[in-house]
Amino acid sequence: MKVFRPRIGFSYLREAYASENLSPAVCRSLNLILLANLFGNLFGIVCGSGTAAMVGLANELRAGDLAFGLLNGIPQAAMLLQIPFAMLVSRTHRRKKYMLTFGLVSRALWLIFGFLPLLFPGAADSRGLWTLVLLLGVSSCLSAAINVCWFPWLSDLAPTRIRGRWLSTRDTVVAFANLAFGFLMAHLLDTLPPDRRYVIVFLIGGTLGMLDMVCFGFCEEKYSAPPVRMNLKSAAGVMKNRAFRRLTVMWTAWCFTANLCEPYLSRYSINEMGLTFTQMTVCSSAAASVMTILLMRRWGRAMDTFGSRSVMMVAALGAAGANAFYLFCTPGAVWPVLLRNALGAAFWNGSNLAANSMQLSASPDDERPIYIAVYSCVTALPGMALGSLAGGALLEIWESAGWFAGAFDRYKALIALSTVLRFAAVVLLVPPLPNDRDGTPRGLVKSLFARGR
């Protein structure tokens, strides 16, 4: 049997660039965007919703379930600002300027987060939590410019035929880096003195986020369409695109059902199950990174062969059932968390890859920023933000009512509800999506498990 050895790095990308006869400037820019995405993902290990560092910081500032849901929902609600930012980008064609101003300031604010427990040490002092909410809100509002700049930037530089390979290679490279960096951050959180660990960790995270933005300062700006003046009617008209509308509805439902419980899994593992930061890293980030390294190339090839819809159907069904492993959790048990993240990553990487590709395919070149802005706003606000807040509200309501005590606690009830709704979203909403290649989900499954692939 042929042993599968994933190839990563720029050598594999050079083959894809050569097949499209891309200029050296474009190749260098695509490599810089990959490097920027690498820094951005490392930034997200520390400074993202539901990370171990954010869970620990929220605990230090005494945030309840609903407050934690609010912290997870704020970045998603701020996505509404992507629409005016998209109009600005489409009219001015100044992506680099906005990444180096709005984006850089947004990331720099994270340097302050770790100091909050030192500035507000009182057990009854809620000012620390509300300061965290304020800083997160400002940072999230400014970061709304990032997505409407970098993603269209990538689509203007990378031809459609190599995007699957570029995205899958990027995710593989990022997974290797996440594996090592996740262990480093977990070690720091477990071993540093409590009064210093969040200061150091968030200083590292904020610096990496700033490096993400700096990389774009050296990229070539390329636009596939001339400047366009857009207004709110342009945003409303986006939903007339049938393929785009179906994708947006499907992904919004998926995000809502996922975020009912997703932000609370790390909090549950640390607070209720008693896992250390290092155990959480091994069972979550490390396991997910290994599966990404092994399988991401296969998802990229599958998408180029069988199409995005087939990948979405297979990957989303697999990802929908991954959280069910948490139903078998007991205090101190690591195997359910390990299986959930390992098998979940094997599938959710495919669904995310398909969603990114379908988003680009369904948006015309001359209006792509506004399409991406509308997509991000709709999926983020009623999808992720509302899902996160609904999950936090249910947890507090069930706790007040005394429901789901014992082995099947309120967190497990929320996980079960989320799992059922995720399966329903996939089965009902993925079939109507258009496919961009010949092929079926059944053929895709056979190819994924074929020997020598």
Alpha helices in 239-366 (DSSP H): 242-259, 262-267, 277-281, 287-306, 308-322, 335-361
- In this structure, of 169-183, 253-267, 408-422, the range with the lowest mean pLDDT score is 169-183
User: Rounded to whole angstroms, how far apart are CA atoms 296 and 294?
Assistant: 6
pLDDT of residue 214: 96
pLDDT tens, 27-85? 999 999 999 999 999 999 999 877 889 989 998 898 888 888 888 889 888 888 888 88
Closest-CA residue to 174 (of 328, 353, 312): 353
- Identity of the residue numbered 44: G
Between CA 41 and CA 318, with CA 351 as vertex, the angle to 5 degrees is: 115
Level-2 CATH architecture, domain 21-448: Up-down Bundle (1.20)
Please, are residues 189 and 197 in contact by the beta-carbon 8 Å criterion? yes
The token pair that represents 223 in the structure block: 């636009």
Residues ≥6 apart with Cβ < 8 Å to 304: 161, 164, 165, 437
Between CA 52 and CA 39 the distance in angstroms is: 18
Q: Averaging pLDDT over each range in 129-133, 237-241, 378-382, which range is the top one? A: 129-133
Share of the chain above pLDDT 90, in %: 38
Closest CA to 287 of 346, 347, 333, 341: 341
User: Cα(165)–Cα(357) distance, rounded to whole angstroms?
Assistant: 11
- Is residue 111 scored above 50 in pLDDT? yes
For 94-107, the pLDDT digits (tens) are 999 999 999 999 99
CB 165 within 8 A of CB 16: yes
For helices 287-306 and 308-322, give the axis angle rounded to 10 degrees. Answer: 150
Tokens of 234: 């342009």
Query: 258-286, pLDDT tens digit by residue?
Result: 999 988 998 898 888 988 888 887 787 77
Confidence of residue 301 (pLDDT cuts 50, 70, 90): confident
**Angle 127-157/52-60 helices, nearest 10 degrees?**
160
Taking only the tens place, the pLDDT of each residue in 335-352 is 998 999 888 888 988 999
Give the model's confidence band at 4: pLDDT under 50 very low, under 70 low, under 90 confident, else very high: very low
pLDDT grade for 2, boundaries at 50, 70 and 90: very low
User: Residue 148: its pLDDT value, please?
Assistant: 83
Distance separating alpha carbons of residues 160 and 155, to the nearest angstrom: 8
Q: Which CA distances in Å does 195 have to 119, 120, 134, 394?
A: 11, 12, 22, 33
Mean pLDDT of the chain: 86
pLDDT digits (tens, 9 = 90+) for 173-227: 888 888 889 889 988 999 999 889 999 999 999 999 999 999 999 999 888 777 7
What count of other Cβ atoms lies within 10 Å of the Cβ of residue 401? Answer: 9
